[in-house]
Amino acid sequence: MRPSTKWLAEWAGDTPRMRFQVKRGIRIGEEETLDVNLIKHTCSCNKWQLTGMPCVHAIAAIRQCRGQVSNIGATQIT
Ligand SMILES: [Zn+2]
């Protein structure tokens, strides 16, 4: 994973504001999109579920979430 490529989280439009689509555009027409759910603690890359540690996509979503609401419950970044 190249650190120079930024992941951007977009709120998916759900009411509790806990689902995000996290995107990274490598180049035009080649965009990666992953679905992050901050309630279930899941990401479509499966790393969060498997390791129990938020993956880069989850962290991007958590950052975005914190910009909108101050309390995101039990989710912690270590
Ligand atoms: Zn992920």
The verdict on residue 76 lying in a domain is: no
Range of the domain at 14: 8-68
Provide the token pair at 8.
């951007």
The verdict on residue 52 lying in a domain is: yes
| Distances in whole angstroms, Cα of residue 39 to Cα of each of 13, 16, 17, 24, 26 | 14, 9, 10, 22, 28
Cα separation, 23 vs 78, whole angstroms: 22
The verdict on residue 73 lying in a domain is: no
Distance 3 CA to ligand 1 centre (A): 15
| Distances in whole angstroms, Cα of residue 73 to Cα of each of 24, 60, 62, 68, 69 | 26, 16, 11, 14, 10
The verdict on residue 34 lying in a domain is: yes
Distance 42 CA to ligand 1 centre (A): 8
pLDDT digits (tens, 9 = 90+) for 8-66: 999 999 888 899 999 988 777 788 899 999 999 999 999 999 999 999 999 999 998 88
Q: How many domains does the chain have?
A: 1
The verdict on residue 62 lying in a domain is: yes
Distance 70 CA to ligand 1 centre (A): 22
- pTM of the full structure: 0.73
Distance 57 CA to ligand 1 centre (A): 4
List beta partners, residue 43. Answer: 36
